[in-house]
Amino acid sequence: MIAKVMMDAELDPTVIVGSLLKDSQTNFIAGKSKYLVVEACEYKRSFLNIEPTIVAITNIDNDHLDYYKDMADIQSAFNSFVKKVPKKGFVVCNPKDKNISPAVSEVNGKTVDWSKFKTDKLKMKVPGEHIKKDASVVLAVAHILGIDKKKAIKSLEEFSGTWRRFEYKGKSKCGAEMYDDYGHHPTEIKATLKGAREMFPQKRIVVVFQPHLFSRTKLLLHDFARAFQDADEIILAPIFPAREAFDSTISSDLLAKEITKQGKKVFSLQNFFDIEKYLTSHLKRDDVLITMGAGEAYKISDNLA
């Protein structure tokens, strides 16, 4: 969003982000100005390699627990990150947020509270309260950069999302609408599904979720179990191991049992073929299918489209 607003304002930034921008179908844009927009990641403290002038923090959550000990350890990494901001720089955050507050207690530059930049009247193309909050962060950054507010709002209202973030994939053979989302942490899943429910209040929402990492699934098992409240039916694929070795003490079957305790309809199937076969015979015209996860769940909606 920041990249789009800056490009629309003709600031010609260089951009490096984690997903593909819809307009350019790339995650890298080589600008010619002094501006560099980077989507930074806290995993293994990798964001400490960056020398930022403006840091925008949307939220801090209990993720990457295969590396960090606990929330305090994560906050210490963010604290080191914001300390890199020079006196002439800015830290854009919600300083009253309980997870963020300890991380921004020592800032050299100026702290800008993004929650004061209201977006309730914005007509966004992408649904969800989290998108509106992200837009508040962007308006705060745009204000710092001296971008005209009306131009920034127009740019935000034209923002159509990115690859694998509530991305519309088309319709299945029976006419069900399909979306794909990269969400693989309970907070992300909850936010995405809440947005989907706002967009489709009367429709049956079917979610195919592929858990990402044995460690994350194990450590956040109970949070995952409570993350699907806005879904009507959940189908789990086997855990996507990514960088981890097999762990027999955790599985999608165990996650399914925990989700069942929340009163939800859930199945755990052994492979994508079985999932596609099930969806082909059970999806209905008025359903909404959302494939979710940081692994390869998007292939299911690709094949059904």
Q: Give Cβ neighbours of residue 161 (< 8 Å, ≥ 6 apart).
A: 22, 125, 126, 167
Rounded CA separation 71/218 (Å): 17
Domains of the chain, first to last: 2-158 (3.40.1190.10), 167-304 (3.90.190.20)
What's the pLDDT tens digit per position in 206-252?
Answer: 999 999 999 999 999 999 999 999 999 999 999 999 999 999 999 99
Rounded CA separation 209/257 (Å): 14
Strands (E), 182-221: 205-209
- Enter the pTM of the model: 0.78
What's the pLDDT tens digit per position in 41-80?
Answer: 999 999 999 999 999 999 999 888 889 999 999 999 999 9
Question: Which tokens sit at 244?
Answer: 């981890």
Rounded CA separation 131/215 (Å): 28
Q: Give Cβ neighbours of residue 75 (< 8 Å, ≥ 6 apart).
A: 60, 99, 102, 103
Q: Tell me which amino acid residue 281 is.
A: S
Number of Cβ atoms within 10 Å of the Cβ of 175: 11
3-state secondary structure 172-191: CCCCCEEEEECCCCHHHHHH
Contact between residue 257 and residue 250 where contact means Cβ atoms under 8 Å apart: no
What's the pLDDT tens digit per position in 119-130?
Answer: 988 998 888 888
User: With the C-alpha atoms ordered 151, 157, 163, 164, is the resulting torsion angle positive or negative?
Assistant: positive
What confidence score (pLDDT) does residue 41 get?
Answer: 92
